[in-house]
Structure 1
Amino acid sequence: MLETLTSTFTSNGLIVSFAVVGITMYFAYFLSDKLTRGRIHGSAIAIILGLLLAYIGGVVTGGTKGLSDISLFAGIGLMGGGMLRDFAIVATAFGASFSEIKKAGITGIISLFLGVIVSFIVGVMIALAFGYTDAVSLTTIGAGTATYIVGPVTGAALGASSEVITISIAAGLVKSILTMIGTPFIAKYIGLNNPRSAMVYGGLIGSTSGVAGGLAATDPKLVPYGAVTATFYTGLGCLLAPSILFLITNAIFG
C-alpha cells in the first residue's frame, strides 16, 4: 500500500506540490491568526516554513535543490521554477491600475524610485559588511532588500549562486516582517491615516505582504492604496536591479 502511494505521488509530482503548498499556506495563516493575531502576515510565515523545509530537504538528501531533492516532492522543483515564478509576478502587476497610482501624484512616483534605490543601497552595504565584494552578489542581495521577489529575479538574471539568492530572500523576508510589526506603531507619527499617505508609504517600503499586513493592522481601509504602489515597486525593482543598478554596482565594485 505504501509503495503504491509513493509511486502515485512521485508520478504526479506537480499535483503533490500544489497540495504541499496549500497545506503549508493553511498552516501558516492559522499560526498568523492564532499566535500573532494577524500582526505577522501568513505569507511571511509561509516563506519561513518553506525555507525550513528546503533546509531539511537539503540536510536529509545532501542535495542542492532543497525539498525537491526528495523524490516524493520532486514536483516542487517545477512549481518553484522560473516559469511559474515569473507568471506570479506578472499576475500581481496586472492587479494594479496606473490610473490609481496617478492619484498619488508626483510624490507617489518619487517614493517608488526613492524606495527602490534606498533599499538597494542599504542591501549593498549589508552585503559588503558580510564580505561579499563581487557585483553580482552585491546586486542580488541589494535587490533582495527591496523585496524577496526582486532578489531571486535579479539573481536568476545575473547568474548568482543559490546561496546568495537565499540570502536575498531572507533579507526581503526580514524587511517584510519588520514592516508588518512596525507599521501600526509608527502610523500616527508619520500621518499614515489617509489613502494618499498609504500610497506613498507603499511606494517607499515596497514589500507588498509587509505593507498589506501592516496597514491591515493599522486601518484595513488603507490596504488597497498601499498595495497598489507596493505592487508597482516590485515591478520597478525587477526592471532596475538587473539592469541600471547592476551596471552602476559593477562600475563601482567590478
Structure 2
Amino acid sequence: MIEILQKLAGEQGLIVAFVAVGALMLVSAWVSRTVTFGRIHASALAIVCALFLAWLGGIYTGGKKGLADIPAFAGLTLLGGAMLRDFAIVATAFEVDVAEARRAGMMGVTALALGTIVPFVMGVAIAWTFGYRDAVTLTTLGAGAVTYIVGPVTGAALGASSPIIALSIATGVLKAVLVMTTTPFVAPLIGLNNPRSAMIFGGLMGTVSGVTGGLAATDARLVPYGALTATFHTGIGCLLCPSLFFIIISRML
C-alpha cells in the first residue's frame, strides 16, 4: 500500500500538491473560524503554517525547496511557481468594476508612488544600520521591503549574492504576513470599507498576498480592488528598483 501511494505521488505530483494545499486551507479555515472567530483570515494562518512546513522540509532533506525536496511533494514546485501565481493574480483582477476603479483617481496613483518609495527607503535605512554599505546590497534589501517578488528580481538583475537575495525575500514575506494579519483590526480605523479605499490601501501596502488575505478577512468584495493596485505596485517596483533606485543609491554612496 505504501509503495502504491509513493508511486502515485511520484507520477501525480501536481494533484498531490493540490490535495496538500487544500487540506492545509481546510484546517486553517477551521482554526480561523473556531479559534480566532474570523478576525485572522485562513489565508494568513495557512501562509504561516506553510512557511513552518517549508522550514521543516528544509531541515529534513537539507535541500533548498522546502517540502518540494521531498519526492512525494515535488509537485509543489510547479504549484508554487511563477506561472500559476501570476495566473491567479490576473484572474483576480478580472473581478474589478472599471467604473469603481476610476474613482481612485490621483489618490490611487499617489498611493502607488508612496507605497513604492517609502518601503524602499525604510528597507535601505534598516540595511544601513546593520552595516551594509554597497549599492547592490542596499538596493536589493530595499526592494525586498517593497515586496518579496521585487527583492529577488532586483537582486538577480544587479548580481546580488544568494544570502542577500534570500534576506530580501524574508523581508517581503514578513511584510506580507504582517499586512495580512493586521488588516482586519485596522480596517475600521482607516475607513477601509469601499472599493476606492481598498485600491488606495493596495497601492500603499503593495504586497499582493498580504493585501488580498487581509481584505478577504475584512470584506471579500474588496479583494479585487486591492489586488489590482497591489499588482501594479509589484510591476512598478520591478521596473524602478534595479534601475532608477539603484542609480540613486550608487550616486549617494
Which runs of 5 or more structure 1 residues have no equivalent in the other structure? Answer: none
CA distance in 2, matches of 1:41, 1:154: 30
1:54 is matched with 54
Q: 1:141 to 1:199 in 2, by over 3 A?
A: same
Q: Give the length in aligned residue pairs.
A: 253
1:4-56 residue CA offsets vs partner (Å, 9 max, x unmatched): 32133123333322322232233333333333333333333222222222221
* Contact 2:41-2:181 at 8 Å conserved across structures: no
Is residue 246 from structure 1 mapped to residue 252 from structure 2 by the alignment?
A: no
Closer, same or farther: CA 56–242 of 1 in aligned 2, 3 Å: same
Instruction: State the TM-score, normalizing by the size of structure 1.
Output: 0.78
Residue 229 (structure 1) aligns with: 229
TM-score (norm 2): 0.78
Q: Which residue of 2 aligns with 1:113?
A: 113
Between 94-103 and 2-11, report the one with greater CA deviation: 94-103
Cα distance, 1:90–1:141 mapped onto 2, change above 3 Å:
farther
1:31–1:158 Cα change, 3 Å? farther
Question: d(CA) in 1 for partners of 2:211 and 2:47?
Answer: 16
Map 1:135-146 to 2 at 5 A: 135-146=135-146
Post-superposition Cα deviations, 1:81-108, rounded to whole Å, max 9, x if no partner, equal 4444454455555665766543211121
Structure 2: distance between partners of 1:90 and 1:218: 21
| Structure 1 counterpart of 2:74 | 74
Q: 1:209 to 1:101 in 2, by over 3 A?
A: same
Q: Which residue of 1 aligns with 2:24?
A: 24
Tell me which residue corresponds to 2:12: 12
Q: Which is further off, 147-156 or 39-48?
A: 147-156
- The residue aligned with 1:175 is 175
- SS state of the match for residue 39, structure 1? coil
The more displaced of 203-212 and 182-191 is 182-191
Whether the 8 Å CA contact 1:179–1:211 is kept in 2: the answer is: yes
- C-alpha distance in 2 between matches for 1:42 and 1:76: 20
Separation in 2, partners of 1:95, 1:12: 32
Q: CA 1:161/1:53 → structure 2, altered by over 3 Å: closer, same or farther?
A: farther
Shift in CA distance, 33/12, structure 1 to aligned 2, threshold 3 Å? same
Structure 1 runs (4+) greater than 6 angstroms displaced: none
Q: What are the superposed Cα offsets for residues 140-167 of structure 1, whole Å, 9 maximum, x if unpaired?
A: 3322322333334444544545544443
Moved more, 57-66 or 175-184: 175-184
The match for 2:125 is: 125
Q: Which whole-Å deviations, capped at 9, do the CAs of 1:116-141 have from their partners, x for residues lacking one? A: 11111112222333344444443333
Contact 1:140 1:160 in 2 (8 A): yes
The verdict on how the C-alpha distance between 1:113 and 1:72 changes in structure 2, with shifts beyond 3 A counting, is: same
Quote the Cα distance in structure 2 between the aligned partners of 1:12 and 1:32: 30
| TM-aligned CA distance change 1:247 to 1:212, over 3 Å | same
Q: 1:203: Cα distance to partner? A: 1.6
Look up the SS of the partner of 2:38 in the other structure. coil
Structure 1 pair 40–241 and aligned structure 2 pair: CA distance change class (3 A): farther
- Cα distance in 1 for partners of 2:184, 2:81 equals 35
Q: Report which stretch shifted further, 152-161 or 55-64.
A: 152-161
- The residue aligned with 1:200 is 200
Shift in alpha-carbon separation, 1:45–1:186, aligned structure 2, 3 A: closer
C-alpha separation in 1, matches of 2:15 and 2:123: 36
